[in-house]
Structure 1
Amino acid sequence: MTLQLRIEGFKAFREETFELRPLTVLAGVNGAGKTSVIQALLMFSQAADQPSGYVELNGPFRLNLGTFNDILNIDSPQIRIALRDDSHDPDEEAFVFSGGETDQFASVKSVGRSGRFAMPRQAGLLQYLSAERLGPRIVQNSSALPHNLIEVGCLGEFTAQVLHERGSTSIDPKRFAPEVDPKTTYLKAHAEAWLSKLTRTVWIDTVGYRDIGSYGLKFRVDEDWVSPTNMGFGLTYALPIVVAALTAQTDGLLIVENPEAHLHPAGQSQMGHFLATMAAAGVRVLVETHSDHVLNGIRRAIGESCVLSAERAVTYYFDPSQDRPEKLEFTAAGGLSHWPSGFFDQYQIDVSALTRIRRPRRS
């Protein structure tokens, strides 16, 4: 199922449409609009889920959008964000956002088929992991929601609680890690296995401090149990992505910014492969990345491992020198339909420059 996201009057977008396939990649130059696509989608989800007639611009999903004037395109009188399901529903659901220059909220009016994309309180329907996730912590805070509604949080701040409370529950077999005995169905085992592919072989343990509303994480490498603060940032940043993907609802939306953060290049490639595998297993994945390794992991998942068909993924390249983002299709062999200038070509540029260096001749 392909969704069409249409954005009008929001920040840099006067009028733009994006396909949201099972796996959608946003890549390109800093400050060119990638995050704005994600923010528009999060604003839409707020409007669809809250029939209050307004959405907050600062707070939900850890967004800090400022005032309404800050997000209104200079050439537009209002903001309109719409979603349409191409395969089943020819009609779109749309919301119009308006407000005053200094308002820190936006008034919302539904102008489409209300309720089509509403996201009721159910864990795993929409999860957003910000680029600014929590670093290593010995303990994490707890969510006040019932256990069946808890998600990892925008910063990954509830990951320990999700693993502690739901670690022994079964997950979708399509998301099993290949190294784990298929008779082992529970979340914690497969989270450990996938995390080990991204980082190093590791086991996870959790502890609940319910009297103070906290949960702790520990990692075991070799024979030693180690606190997160002694394991570095890579595991801590990657674990919420793994847990969110494994607990997502079928057709649930997982939005991840910079999944490559703090990972070794080999881990970044494995992260791309993991996200492609999750997309093939029924999670709709929207990823914003600056890593050619993540992209190449996705390409290998399509062309080498064949876990995801090429037509189920798409990349958008954002270049401020161009009028609009450029759509790149994947090929069955894991290639791309074309390779624009500036699109993950810095390695070739640097190597070419190095090969032109001539050593001084000996006299």
Structure 2
Amino acid sequence: MVSIAEARNKRSSSYEVKGISKISVAGFKSIYDEKSISIYPLTILSGSNSSGKSSIFQPLLMMKQTMEESYDPGDLLIDGPHVRYYSAKEFLSKIGNEVADKFSITIEVDGEKSIRETFKRGKNKPVELVEASFTSKKSNVRLKPGMDEKDLIKKYWFFNDQYESFRKSLNSFILDNKRLSDNGIDTDNLNIGLKILRKRCMLNVVFSVTGAYGKAIISPSVLPIPGFEDLSRVENHILGIIHVPTLRGNPQRVYKTTAVGPQFPGTLDNYVASIINHWKVTNNPALNKLGNWLKTLGLTWKIDAKQINDTQVEILLHRLPKKTSDPEDMVNIADVGFGVSQVLPVLVALLVAKRDQIVYIEQPEIHLHPRAQYKLAEMLVETANRGVKVVIETHSMLLLTGIQTYIAEGKITTDNVKLHWFSRNDDGVTDVISTSFDKRGSFGECPIDFAEIELEADSRYLDASELHPVD
């Protein structure tokens, strides 16, 4: 399979792939066999209901919510703000009488290296991390909980080199630091070695120094894996995902004051009011852009935020969709149509996101008039052209047609858009067909049936109406 980096290099040698570039999942819900989606600046997930569109992203969201939690929730938090399950049985694949006992997610980064995490239903906990694989041009490492120093050094020579270097540095530290002995630490009987240490849903190789009763003398030091010298960067890509779910809450009279990024733990709808207020007090042009986008969608032409007190923010919208002589005719967001409150997190997410950051939006078109669905394509394309990675899950033919139109008009290149079509076979297993667009905006032989269904519905209506003579 050609990677996203290889495919893009063929088209444009100047394009540099950064951040999460591909996701592969196996053993999760209807995704029994491994399926992959490449992440482009504008990535479209579509297909029938319950075909696996959300499922392919949920393991990544589970990792995100595990890393975000204020306490250590264990190997994987399955019940959180992004994804909610109560038992591993609910998401492990089942085909007929065959039930998977584990699932995996592979995250490709920068188009050239990947981390594969394998989770299994645990005996004493809901889910346990049983293996982490690191693959790059420099190394191929498989880590498992419980691997000891001999296993690590025997399989991977570079750990031995790092180990010896660390021992020498430690010996010098002990000789130069009399405080260890002064504090009653027996420096002649330290336990020094390599071990696997779990950090939430990740595994690391660490250099461990312990004294009596296993007490850590020095904080464990992570040994870098060749090709993954800065593993925290991968974690930051996951933590940096902006998630706009299908259910975005009801409009509120007031919203809680929150931080305004750059990372947004939980779902973005919790931060919208404070972000808008921050744009206002800092004179950020994003606020005017947001107003213009709302006007383009036919919803309003002006939006504002008001800090009620230290803990509450109010969102205000102009009462009319077009500019009037009274710019102060504002109403609370709770007093306008539901569509505004539902699309607002979508638009704010697109504006607040940075280059190479993933914005994952489930059904951006929900509660929007057909004309607004069509025009929403403009905002998605504009954001993708900034280098943000916009991933949308959609059932809207109008939105898709809008994107096709922008491709045909040359407002976004075919290199920057990818369509993944999801379906299920007779056994209920997910199939994914990934296709690119040509310069005319066409997507080849991908079996999208939206237009076919619309024609079928129109034809049936016309046939039925002809049975009734005109009075």
Q: CA deviation at 1:264?
A: 0.9
Q: How many residues align?
A: 339
Look at both structures and tell me which one has the larger radius of gyration over its CA atoms.
2
1:206 partner letter? A
Q: How far, CA to CA, are the matches of 2:252 and 2:440 in structure 1?
A: 41
CA distance in 2, matches of 1:338, 1:354: 28
Alignment partner for residue 165 of structure 1, among 257, 269, 278? 278
Structure 1 partner of 2:461: 354
Q: CA 1:354/1:339 → structure 2, altered by over 3 Å: closer, same or farther? A: farther
The CA distance in 1 between the partners of 2:405 and 2:123, in whole Å, is 47
Q: Which segment is superposed worse, 330-339 or 68-77?
A: 68-77
Deviation at 1:286, TM superposition (A): 0.7
Aligned to 1:179: none
Alpha carbons 1:47, 1:108 under 8 Å: kept: no
Q: Is 2:60–2:238's contact at 8 Å kept on the other side of the alignment?
A: no
Aligned partners of 1:360 and 1:138: how far apart in 2? 50
In structure 1, the residue matched to 2:383 is 278
- Which ranges of structure 1 fall in alignment gaps of 5 or more residues? 171-184
C-alpha RMSD of the superposition: 2.8
Q: What residue number does 2:85 align with? A: 65
Percent identity (aligned):
24
Alignment CA distance shift 1:285-1:149 (3 Å):
closer
User: Given the alignment, which residue of 31, 41, 48 partners 1:13?
Assistant: 31
Are residues 256 and 121 of structure 1, via their aligned partners in 2, closer, same or farther at CA, if it must alter by over 3 Å?
A: closer
Q: Distance in 2 between matches of 1:210 and 1:108?
A: 48
Deviation of residue 238 (structure 1)? 1.2
The match for 2:354 is: 249
1:189 corresponds to which of 288, 302, 313: 288
- Which of 337, 351, 359 pairs up with 2:444? 337
Which residue number corresponds to residue 55 of structure 1? 76
For 1:8-50, what per-residue CA distance to the aligned partner results, in whole angstroms no more than 9, with x for missing partners?
A: 2111112111111111111111111111122122134456778
- Of residues 299, 314, 324, the one that matches 1:200 is 299
Report the 3-state secondary structure (helix = DSSP H, G, I; strand = E; otherwise coil) of the residue aligned with 1:318. strand
Task: Identify the residue that residue 226 of structure 1 maps to in structure 2.
Answer: 331
Shift of 1:192: 0.9
SS at match of 1:206: strand
Task: Note if 1:97 corresponds to 2:119.
Answer: yes
Give the one of 90, 104, 128 matched to 1:80: 104
The answer to whether the 8 Å contact 2:435/2:443 transfers is yes
Structure 1 residues 236 and 152, CA gap change in structure 2 (3 angstroms): farther
1:157, CA displacement in angstroms?
2.6
1:154 equivalenced with 2:262 (yes/no) = no
Deviation sequence 1:173-230 (CA, Å, 0-9, x none): xxxxxxxxxxxx622111111121123342111111334x211011113432112122
Query: Structure 1, residues 267-286: CA drift from partner, whole Å, max 9, x if none?
Result: 10111221122111111011
Change in Cα spacing, 1:151 to 1:78, as seen in structure 2 (3 Å) is: closer
Q: Secondary structure at the match of 1:56?
A: coil
Partner of 2:60: 41
Contact 2:407 2:414 in 1 (8 A): yes
Cα 1:89–1:35 change in 2 (3 A) is closer
Determine helix, strand or coil for the equivalent of 1:325. Answer: strand
Q: CA deviation at 1:360?
A: 5.2
Whether the 8 Å contact between 2:246 and 2:362 is mirrored in structure 1 is yes
TM-score normalised by structure 1 residue count? 0.84
Q: Under a length normalisation based on structure 2, what TM-score does the superposition of the two structures give?
A: 0.66
Alignment of 1:268-347 (within 5 A): 268-304=373-409, 306-321=410-425, 324-340=431-447, 342-347=449-454
Q: Deviations over 1:237-288 (max 9, x none)?
A: 1111111111111110000011111111111011122112211111101101
Secondary structure, in 3 states, of the residue corresponding to 1:35? coil
Cα 1:101–1:33 shift into 2, 3 Å: farther
Q: CA deviation at 1:290?
A: 1.2
Matches of 1:348 and 1:121 in 2, distance apart? 41
Tell me the secondary structure at the aligned position of residue 219 of structure 1.
Answer: strand
1:130: how far off? Answer: 0.5
Could you tell me which residue of structure 2 aligns to residue 178 of structure 1? none
SS of the equivalent of 1:285 reads: strand
> Which residue matches 1:214?
312
Say which is worse superposed, 281-290 or 350-359, in terms of deviation.
350-359
- Contact 1:47 1:95 (C-alpha < 8 Å) held by counterparts: no
One-letter amino acid of the structure 2 residue matched with residue 10 of structure 1? F
Q: CA deviation at 1:158?
A: 2.1
Give the CA deviation at 1:91: 2.5
In the TM superposition, what is the alpha-carbon distance from 1:352 to its structure 2 partner? 2.2
Contact kept? 2:237, 2:357, Cα under 8 Å: no
Asked if the contact 2:42/2:390 (under 8 Å) is kept, the reply is yes
